[in-house]
Amino acid sequence: MSKVKNFLENYDNTGTRKNLWNGLNKYFQSIYEEATSENLEEMADKYFSEKRDYEKDIQTFLKSLNGSAPLTIKLKLSNIKTFLIENDVELPEKFWKKIRRRIKGSRALTLDRIPTSSELKKLLLHVPIHGKAVFLCLESSGMRIGEMLKSNIDDLYLDENPARIQIRGEVTKSGNSRHAFFSREAKEALVEWLKVRKEYLRVAAAKSHMYEKSLEDSRIFPFDPSTAYSIWKKALHKSGLNGRDKSTGREKLHPHVLRKFFRTRLGAAGIPIDVVEALMGHEGYLTEVYRRYTIEDLREFYLKGESALLVFTDAAEVTKLRQEVEEYAHKIQKEVDERNKTLQTLVNGLTTENLDMKSKVAKVELENMEIKKGNLETKAELKELSLTVRSLVKKLEKLTEA
């Protein structure tokens, strides 16, 4: 029976399956000396065919994890617990509580350091175009490296301001799709990368001997995380920014700190924390933020804080320029408002004068009508008088003749 394969098929996410596989591999290697990554299924069959002291095995596994980060230990133990339950081995909850109490601390052992803009600039001067594009996209969007490397060209909206990417639910950690934005620097690097992407893919496919590389790869960045980490590591050494944590031996500056850079910079720029967390894909904030804000609202928030995410442009200078533009726009608007007010007053005055004039015209017209009416009456009276005079003249003539 393929116990490991059947267990892993319960999970859709490739990264999750990989982590589970690594955890099972470490578990069996802590128990069997002959265990390797190649005979994992065989070790699983052997394990469940034997009469084992499972609690003792868990304790042995816990000892083998000594030196790992507390969260890593808890995660691996949780994975093994689930694997055992899937294979009808259920240990008392009291035992698991006892094991968890032996794990000290709850935070990562490596003390990450958030780089400054000048440090990022120094580092990015030592990476090729695809490295520059991917790291600028990460630091200006808050995306996880896995999300970025699984996103397709069709997910991009580079003609918008700022450039936007629709992160599909199938590539996110939470399973929920979301929107993210890129700074103008990241967009510029991305556009330049897309110009040479096909040639990169052709050369990479020709060099690939162990694995067949498709020329029809639709991803924005058609390479694995290991390639991105390798580019980052080389740039750290070339720029002199490499520095390992004394307790873990891990680099203090690694690609994941770009998410922390994003969170810190946008927060300092005055962007609401729930908006920042939602843009980063933290599930607890997504639903509420997308209920309260439209994409246009999120776009406006991002544009307000974008200058804080710039690496190759002086953020202070950009902020100063933005303030000057806003002040000038305010000044112009004030002048327009005052001019509109003056014009409105003039229009109101002309309207009043016009009404007065209409009233006067109406009065004159009325007087005219009355005069015309009087004239008509006078004409009638004159006509009647003329007839009377004529009548009298005729009578006078008759009297004279007599």
Indicate the burial class of 398 (C-beta count within 10 angstroms; 0-12, 13-18, 19 or more).
exposed
Query: Quick one: average pLDDT of 203-215?
Result: 74
What pLDDT shows up at residue 210?
A: 57
Q: Is the pLDDT confidence value at 194 over 80?
A: yes
Percent of the chain's residues with pLDDT above 70 = 89
What pLDDT shows up at residue 73?
A: 85
CA distance 362 to 370: 12
Contacts of 27 (CB under 8 A, 6+ apart): 57, 61, 76, 80, 83
* 219 strand-pairing partners: 152
Higher-pLDDT residue of 323 and 390 is 390
Q: For residue 384, which amino acid is it?
A: E
What pLDDT shows up at residue 324?
A: 55
Kindly indicate the confidence band of residue 102, based on its pLDDT and cuts at 50, 70 and 90.
confident
- Tell me: the pLDDT tens digits for 313-350? 765 544 554 565 566 566 667 777 787 788 788 778 77
Half-sphere exposure of 358 (CA within 13 A, CB side): 6
What pLDDT shows up at residue 321?
A: 47
Query: Quick one: average pLDDT of 133-158?
Result: 96
**Residue whose structure tokens are 């953020």:** 315
What pLDDT shows up at residue 57?
A: 92
Q: Is the pLDDT confidence value at 110 over 50?
A: no
What pLDDT shows up at residue 153?
A: 97
Most confident of 30-39, 284-293, 302-311: 302-311
What pLDDT shows up at residue 245?
A: 55
Most confident of 123-137, 302-316, 326-340: 123-137
Query: Quick one: average pLDDT of 107-116?
Result: 64
What pLDDT shows up at residue 249?
A: 55
- Tell me: the pLDDT tens digits for 262-293? 999 999 999 999 999 999 988 788 888 888 89
Q: Is the pLDDT confidence value at 109 over 60?
A: no
- Tell me: the pLDDT tens digits for 10-20? 887 777 888 88
What pTM was estimated for this model as a whole?
0.61
162 cis-preceded (ω within 30 degrees of 0):
yes
Average pLDDT, the chain: 84
Higher-pLDDT residue of 374 and 226 is 226
- Tell me: the pLDDT tens digits for 162-176? 999 999 999 988 888
Q: Is the pLDDT confidence value at 35 over 90?
A: no
What pLDDT shows up at residue 371?
A: 74
Q: Is the pLDDT confidence value at 375 over 50?
A: yes
In terms of phi and psi (left: phi > 0; alpha: psi -120 to 50; beta: otherwise), the region of 240 is: left
